[in-house]
Amino acid sequence: MLVAIRDKVANLKKQGKSRDETEAAKPTAAFDAKWGQFVWANKAIERTTDKTILVPGHGPVGNRAQLIAFRDMLVAVRDKVVALKSQRKSLEDIIAAKPTAAFDDEWGRFVIDSKFFTKLVYEGL
Q: What is the pLDDT of residues 25-49, one digit of tens each?
A: 445 555 555 566 777 888 889 999 9
**Helix spans in the chain (H):** 2-14, 19-34, 36-46, 64-86, 91-96, 104-107, 114-124
**Taking 90 as the threshold, does the pLDDT of residue 20 lie above it?**
no
Rounded CA-CA distance 91/85 in Å is 8
Largest Cα–Cα distance of the chain, in whole Å? 44
pTM exceeds 0.95, yes or no: no
Asked whether 87 and 100 are in contact (CB, 8 A), the reply is no
